[in-house]
Structure 1
Amino acid sequence: MNEKTIRTRFAPSPTGYMHVGNLRTALYAYLIAKHDNGDFILRIEDTDQERQVDGALDVIYNTMKITGLQHDEGPDVGGNVGPYIQSQRKNIYLDYAKKLIDNGEAYYCFCTKDRLDMIRKNSEALGRPHKYDKHCFHLSKEEIEEKIASGIPYVIRQNNPSTGTTTFEDEIFGKITVDNSELDDMVLIKSDGFPTYNFANVVDDHLMGITHVVRGSEYLSSSPKYNRLYDAFGWDVPKYIHCPPIMKDAHHKLSKRNGDASFEDLMEKGFLKEAILNYIALLGWNPGSTQEIFSLEELIKNFDYKNINKAPAIFDITKLKWMNGEYIRMLPIEKFHELALPYYKETLTKNIDLTKLSELMHTRTEILNEIPEQIDFLEALPEYSSDMYIHKKMKTNYENSLKSLEKSLPILENISNWSFDTVHDSMMDLAKEMEVKNGIVLWPLRTALSGKQFTPGGAFEIADILGKEESLKRVKIGIDKLKQVQ
């Protein structure tokens, strides 16, 4: 393994959905590696067996495949430093934990749950941060051997000093120093023999040659304990890149628990994978330019992790919608039609030219799952109020709307070659003949044809798609509706 090769990893737990924050971590780790032609590794952290969810591993693999974040090594593609699933590395961690015991950097702890709860309650009563009191660190070698031989359950804890300070360097947040008195003797090996997340990470990152560790800023407080482990083993410390949290708003973090969208949710809502990835890249990273639309290749070229922000990033769904709309408009019309077809079919049963509909919708769609509510009026004219004919800007009212529709009807009836152009030309001629602004003719016609205030196209596009028979039928309904309020 070349020491100069940048190696990053994405190490998710198979506990459910791919959260936006997890995907950003994967993306940043991928971009850091690929920006310098390095290696990107996928490692599955399944040491917390109780939290595992059936099918979650497939979610991870599928997300990596869909987004194009192709890993160079991992459980499904192999590599020289496997296994890449932590539960298959169980014996490795125990061996390393015992090395720490041998050099005084760790110790066996036999404390019961009741005793640990008592320590926690005492800390709370005194208003102090909870810390283990090193009770078992003082056990003699004979006492330890006796307890192990008796089958008393134990964990292995890190032995952190209670005086002095520990300093570490973060690529984003700079130099951070903490008092050792704040460091808890964290558990390295649990009573079930599995390592904790914190310990397994350190051992695996070293053995897998990871040079840059990307993770959320919530792990900043744990980093001194990680560094003490690296130092205890005599290993090089990787570069830390702690990313700012992704916030729902100024006060709340984005959280699946609170119903916030995961990657799968966003895909199901009709967002394009390219738009999601592009948007997530900008959640906490500044490209140093006004460019906002990046392909994955452009992100690889432009990504500099030193431009990751310290400040939290706000997940703005409105901005994501805008970006998704930009991506949809960049699609070839054939590709858009292919993506829109399932949404048409769930909404429309009438014989409508769907190719024409795609030409109309292509530049007017921000999210694919909004298509049904935009086109449902083509299937059936909705119930609507006569008040919709009143439009201040168009200067329409009941009286002139009725007059426009009554004059439009025979002209439309006489069109033999029904199309966008023939409807357009006939209605423009009518507006000139009536000596009124176009809106006085077109707003009533659009209202009659759609029964909606907002439509993806104007009167001509709607008439063209509906066809002559359906259009005339709707105009007559509009006339009857207006006559009732006269």
Structure 2
Amino acid sequence: MTVRVRFAPSPTGLLHLGGLRTALYNFLFARKHGGRFILRIEDTDTARTVPGSASLLLRMLQDAGIGPDEGYGVGGDHGPYVQSERKELYAAAAARLEQAGLAYRCSYDDAEVERYRKEEEARVGSFVFRRRAAEDLLGGAGRRGGGVIRLDAERALQQLGEAEVEDLVRGRVVIPNDKVDDAILVKSDGLPTYHLASVVDDQNMGISHVIRGEEWLSSAPKHILLHRALGHPPPPFAHLPLLLNPDGGKLSKRHEHGTVESFVRQGFEMKAILSYTASMGFTPSKEIMTVKELIEEFDLSKVHKHGTRVDIGKFSSIQTSVLRGMCQDSEGRRGLWLELGPRLRELVKVSGQPILADRVEDDKYFEEVVKTVVERVERRSEILSQFLYFWTDPDPEALASHTAAEAREQVIAHLENFEQELQKQAERREGGGLDVLIEEARKAAKAAGAKAMSKGAMMKFVRLALTGKDGGPSLTDIFALLGPPVSLRRVSSSLKFLRAPAAPSS
């Protein structure tokens, strides 16, 4: 048997994190067994369909490296792969079911169905729509024309046998016969519901296994009956556990962590998103996995039965590890340069400060910067948002704004001597490193009668002059990358503002 599995989302907006997991597990199962992964768009709920979202779903799968082998946007021998283009198939299936006495037309309106629901809940504590009970309460056989087409669950169970689910994740699942309802198969507008359309399409497209979310487990008996009624044995089912938000509720698209796009916008790498999504259902051997490694390890027998909460702390930790791995890899750094280089050129143009023009175009310099800041970034965008000072001078007023009035003279004295040492080194184009320069400046300031300053305090003020920030990577590494001429210019510019009279306090 050729394995053929499908991901069949409704185009109702952004890709849900659970949708990505369903797509991923289907993809992994297909690859594991040498099969085909199909993308089918289930758009029969026209009121909720969002134009353009199907294309976005396809692109997201392709960006994640799990694009379909066949289906929407790709083509194949079993198209069309959009349900609104397959209406004739569903109409024919519905007619077959009616002719076999396994489906019937029903014209009860919403108010009547609601009355029936309340009566049943008051009588037995739950509600399952069944034709005979509805007719006893709401009216007889004269109400069977027009309206919608429903499954006759009672007759189907009698003729086709009980619909126990042998689930590949959960084992044997028994849903009592009296809980199987007369589900609507065709709506009053002539469009099929999920129950009929998914079964017809799975048969028509040769789907060998149905891997989908737990929310469809209660509907599996209906689908098993429909497969039998339409002349095919039902495929094996695997129902994946729910994804839960951090407080334990079902994760929805409206939740801040509910969609793949929400994480992409936050700067999460797709490899991190995929690795974490894979772990929300089974336990891989390591935290970060390539798609190839996931294929090797994935097995439906390893999938958890219980729901999994989204753990943002763990997700962020995986993201940080993925990004650091990229920064430490030459190919990864090259990819970062190709993406961030154009953005860098835009940012320096609007910075309003002197630019290190030769370095803006220098990919090797960019890679050295990345290696320097790797331990301090969690998103790739932070390489530029936090460390633009490697390419453009910082605000020269930063030093003055961080220097208390009573310490100004002391700081000026030490930085003036540091400036002089930098000047000598810049002229010689050689000399000691940063530690030597700072020590020489401290000695010279002390000899001139300035109040003593610790090495740590002086490094803080030098950092402010060079970067405009009071924290960051090793100052020695920063100085080595910037070099004496650039460092001299920044120290001189910062001293100019520091020497200016402090504005009177209001």
TM-score relative to the length of structure 2:
0.80
Rounded Cα–Cα distance in structure 2 between residues aligned with 1:202 and 1:445: 70
**One-letter amino acid of the structure 2 residue matched with residue 359 of structure 1:** E
Cα distance in 2 for partners of 1:236, 1:421 equals 82
Residue 473 and residue 357 in structure 1: after superposition, are their counterparts in 2 closer, same or farther (change >3 A)? Answer: farther
Q: Aligned equivalents of 2:214 and 2:28: distance in 1?
A: 18
Distance 1:91-1:369 versus aligned 2 partners, 3 A rule: same
Give the one of 359, 363, 368 matched to 2:368: 359
What is the SS of the residue equivalent to 1:368?
coil
Gaps of 5+ in 1: 391-396
Match of 2:306 in 1: 311
2:153 to 159, 169, 177: 159
For 1:6, the equivalent position in structure 2 comes to 3
Give me the identity figure in percent: 31
- Separation in structure 2 between the aligned mates of residue 468 and residue 432 of structure 1, nearest angstrom: 17
1:369 aligns with 2:378: no
Q: 1:359 to 1:90 in 2, by over 3 A?
A: same
Within a 5 Å distance, the mapping from 1:38-437 to structure 2 comes to 38-123=35-120, 128-135=125-132, 148=145, 152-160=146-154, 166-260=163-257, 262-287=259-284, 289=285, 291-315=286-310, 316=312, 317-329=315-327, 330=329, 331-349=331-349, 350-352=354-356, 353-354=359-360, 355=362, 356-362=365-371, 363=374, 364-375=376-387, 378-381=392-395, 404-416=414-426, 423-424=433-434, 426-427=436-437, 429-430=439-440
CA distance in 2, matches of 1:370, 1:138: 65
* Runs of at least 4 residues off by over 4 Å: 123-127, 135-139, 143-148, 161-166, 376-379, 382-390, 397-404, 417-423, 431-438, 475-485
Deviates further, 294-303 or 266-275: 266-275
* Cα separation, 2, equivalents of 1:293 and 1:258: 25
Cα–Cα, structure 1 residues 186 and 146, in superposed 2: closer, same or farther, change >3 Å? closer
Offset, 1:190: 1.0
In structure 2, relative to structure 1, the CA distance for the partners of 1:420 and 1:303 (3 Å cut) is: farther
CA distance in 2, matches of 1:52, 1:418: 70
Give SS of 2:206's match. Answer: coil
Contact 1:418 1:467 (C-alpha < 8 Å) held by counterparts: no
Are 2:42 and 1:32 aligned?
A: no
Post-superposition CA distance 1:88-125 (Å, at most 9, x none): 22121222223223333322211122211222333455
Shift of 1:256: 2.4
Higher mean displacement: 359-368 or 129-138:
129-138
Residue 346 of structure 1 deviates from its aligned partner by 4.5
For 1:481 and 1:194, locate their aligned partners in 2 and report how far apart those are by CA, in whole Å: 78
Q: Say which is worse superposed, 236-245 or 380-389, in terms of deviation.
A: 380-389
TM-aligned CA distance change 1:230 to 1:28, over 3 Å: same
Aligned to 1:443: 460
Tell me what 2:449 maps to. Answer: none
| Amino acid of the structure 2 residue aligned with 1:296 | V
Distance in 2 of aligned mates of 1:320 and 1:28 = 19
Q: Is the 8 A contact 2:211 2:238 kept in 1?
A: yes
What SS does the corresponding residue of 2:493 show, helix, strand or coil? helix
Alpha-carbon distance in 1 for matches of 2:270, 2:398: 37
Aligned-pair CA distance for 1:24: 1.4
Contact 1:123/1:129 (8 A) holds in 2: yes
CA displacement at 1:8 relative to structure 2: 0.7
Q: 1:159 to 1:35 in 2, by over 3 A?
A: same
Per-residue displacement from partner, 1:15-37 (whole Å, max 9, x unpaired)? 12122221111111011001111
- Range moving further from structure 2, 249-258 or 163-172: 163-172
Distance 1:401 1:318, change over 3 A: farther
Q: Deviations over 1:212-269 (max 9, x none)?
A: 2121112222222222323434522222222222233042333321333533343343
Question: Root-mean-square deviation (CA), in Å?
Answer: 3.7
Q: Which moved more, 1:313-322 or 1:37-46?
A: 313-322
Cα distance in 2, alignment partners of residues 157 and 84 from structure 1 = 25
What SS does the corresponding residue of 1:411 show, helix, strand or coil? helix
Give the number of equivalent residue pairs: 468
Q: 1:326 to 1:242 in 2, by over 3 A?
A: farther
